[in-house]
Amino acid sequence: MHQWTTSELSYIEENAGKVPTHQLRKKYGCSLDALRGAKKRINADRFMKGLEPISLRFDKPLFVCPNCNQKTDRIIARSGWCKACTDELKLDSYHHRLEIVDREAQRVQELERNKAREDAVKRELDNLKQKKRTVVKTLVKHDLSARTEKDTVCETVTTTRDHPYSEGKRPE
Ligand SMILES: [Zn+2]
């Protein structure tokens, strides 16, 4: 077991949490257990002095998130914010994108409704055109037969009137 000197103990007390344990172990060529033993001794001493205990847990250097001003051990490069803020940002942009998609879907639906209405109008127009064609055909047929009848009558009349025998003249 490592025999700790007072200066070593005060160095550990000073640097606990600021220097990774593997570096302390390398510096003193000791095991993790030996380091923990040192910590126990330091903390017992600090307890007597009414001081907070030290921890060997190495805290990574902290950054301050510019969005929430909270200390964080990790800044997400893409956003420049902490993970929580980045997640919120992602959620915001997700919601934003969702809104855009919703609006687009509504527009498409409206266009489809308009198209359906247009199609219905077009069908109705086609029906009317078809009806008109039938009516015109019927009219034309009637008109033609009427005219044919009239023409026949006229012809008959003409024939009767203009016929040389019509006035009782008998051929000689
Ligand atoms: Zn943040």
Instruction: Give per-residue pLDDT as tens, 114-164.
Output: 999 999 999 999 999 999 998 888 888 887 766 666 555 555 555 555 555
Give distance in angstroms: CA of 64 to centre of ligand 1.
8
Angstrom distance (rounded) from CA 151 to CA 110: 59
Q: Is 0.85 surpassed by the pTM of this model?
A: no
Give distance in angstroms: CA of 62 to centre of ligand 1.
12
Give distance in angstroms: CA of 90 to centre of ligand 1.
13
pLDDT digits over 43-97, tens only? Answer: 999 999 999 999 998 877 678 999 999 888 888 988 899 999 999 988 888 888 8
Angstrom distance (rounded) from CA 38 to CA 20: 15
Which stretches does DSSP call E strand in 18-144? 63-64, 71-72
> What confidence score (pLDDT) does residue 150 get?
57
Give distance in angstroms: CA of 96 to centre of ligand 1.
20
Give distance in angstroms: CA of 83 to centre of ligand 1.
7
